[in-house]
């Protein structure tokens, strides 16, 4: 799919963002990746998903509510399209957003590993 032509109002995204995120996140010990039921590309440690991508356009995450609130207040995430506390999104508009999506997945990765999910 071209990241420059999208038939709806979603942002075009950053060309190559998904590949860049995948290369980094799958280099972490214990991370697996693959397509999910809704055609999202997810990253997991054990049975815990640490985030998923919708092409080069957006990354979605789940965080504990206290951390979610903090990340929202800091502007590091936006509310997920399913507006429920704990679910966050990062729209990939530029390279800085791609770096931040990786950093947010790393937060979830570090929590999963410390909880013994790896």
User: Cβ neighbours of residue 2 under 8 Å, at least 6 residues apart?
Assistant: none
pTM: 0.86
Q: What is the rounded CA–CA span in Å between residue 100 and residue 39? A: 22
Distance of CA 60 to the CA centre of its chain: 4
Q: What is the rounded CA–CA span in Å between residue 115 and residue 82? A: 26
Distance of CA 72 to the CA centre of its chain: 14
Query: Could you tell me if 104 and 61 are in contact, meaning their C-beta atoms sit under 8 angstroms apart?
Result: yes
Q: What is the rounded CA–CA span in Å between residue 71 and residue 118? A: 24
Please write the tens of the pLDDT for every residue from 29-70: 999 999 988 888 999 999 999 999 999 999 999 999 999 999
Domains and CATH numbers, the chain: 17-114 (3.90.1150)
Please write the tens of the pLDDT for every residue from 62-116: 999 999 999 999 999 998 878 888 999 999 999 999 999 999 999 999 999 998 7
Q: What is the rounded CA–CA span in Å between residue 104 and residue 17? A: 15
Confidence of residue 9 (pLDDT cuts 50, 70, 90): low
């Amino acid at each position: 799919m071209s990241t420059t032509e999208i038939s709806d109002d979603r942002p075009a995204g950053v060309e190559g963002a998904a590949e860049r995120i995948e290369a980094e996140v799958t280099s972490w010990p214990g991370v697996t990746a693959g397509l999910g039921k809704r055609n999202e590309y997810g990253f997991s440690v054990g049975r815990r998903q640490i985030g998923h991508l919708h092409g080069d356009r957006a990354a979605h995450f789940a965080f504990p509510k206290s951390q979610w609130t903090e990340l929202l207040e800091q502007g590091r995430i936006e509310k997920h399209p399913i507006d429920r506390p704990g679910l966050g999104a990062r729209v990939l508009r530029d390279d800085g957003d791609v770096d931040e999506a990786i950093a947010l997945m790393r937060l979830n990765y570090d929590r999963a590993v410390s909880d013994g999910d790896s």
